[in-house]
A and B are shown apart, each in its own frame.
Chain A
Amino acid sequence: GNSVTQMEGPVTLSEEAFLTINCTYTATGYPSLFWYVQYPGEGLQLLLKATKADDKGSNKGFEATYRKETTSFHLEKGSVQVSDSAVYFCALRRTGRRALTFGSGTRLQVQP
């Protein structure tokens, strides 16, 4: 079946540190891949997406590259800020389907 595996959190970083949150997936065909973010007290928001192999999604300084050979979609940011503290969810959408399959989420805490 389809599944998404994320690194466990919490991830604690100092401001301006480099961030990587690992995400790998299992799926048939060619899924679309997403990162969603949930800030404290808010709903899920789309952060970035990639719909085919080697695509790079980017937004707000975050990037992720769709790597089919390693079935990965790792989230990166060169310099995190305190305001990036949130829970990050990796998700996939199967080919021909609209519903999302989510990972378990990774909490990021950025300290000043």
Chain B
Amino acid sequence: EAGVAQSPRYKIIEKRQSVAFWCNPISGHATLYWYQQILGQGPKLLIQFQNNGVVDDSQLPKDRFSAERLKGVDSTLKIQPAKLEDSAVYLCASGSQSGGYGDTQYFGPGTRLTVL
């Protein structure tokens, strides 16, 4: 079974530029998450999708961050314009619904963003 795919793996941009990250979840997984992991901290949820609908985006800085999941499969996360404090690893995870609320989240390798 293929895992969660993310691209790019690394990205360096200047502040005020825009950037987009892509995620392909495990086939058949209905739930998709984007987490932000700042160096030295644990991952923090940005947004959660169930199929192609948003379930929770309460911690997404909506003035600069946006995300979509078209057709309930792939997802993109965009930052525009980027700030220095956006430097972090952006993790995508997916999960199935079959196991109820105890089901496992599978994480991708992450995209490391550096904002100069």
A residues apposed to B, CB below 8 Å: 4, 32, 36, 42-46, 49, 51, 89, 91, 93, 95-105
**Contact at B91–A98, with CB atoms within 8 Å?**
no
**B43: Cβ under 8 A from any A Cβ:** yes
Interface residues on B, range: 20 to 34
A95 near B101: Cβ-Cβ < 8 Å: yes
Q: How far is the CA of A83 from the CA of B67 in the complex (A)?
A: 37
A-B contacts, 9 of them at CB < 8 A, read: A32-B102, A43-B108, A43-B109, A49-B104, A98-B105, A99-B33, A100-B105, A101-B45, A104-B42
User: A44 with B48: in contact, given A98-B31, A104-B40 (CB under 8 Å)?
Assistant: no
Q: A103-B42, A105-B42 are in contact. Are A98 and B95 (CB under 8 A)?
A: yes
By Cβ-Cβ distance, the 8 closest A-B pairs, closest first, are A102-B42, A44-B107, A43-B109, A99-B45, A43-B107, A51-B102, A104-B42, A102-B43
A96 to B108, CA, bound (A): 24
Of A43, A49, A102, A105, most buried by chain B (CB within 10 Å of CB) is A43
Residue among B55, B93, B101 with most chain A CB within 10 A: B101
Chain A residues near B95 (CB-CB < 8 A): 98
Q: Which residues of B contact A100 (CB under 8 A)?
A: 43, 45, 105
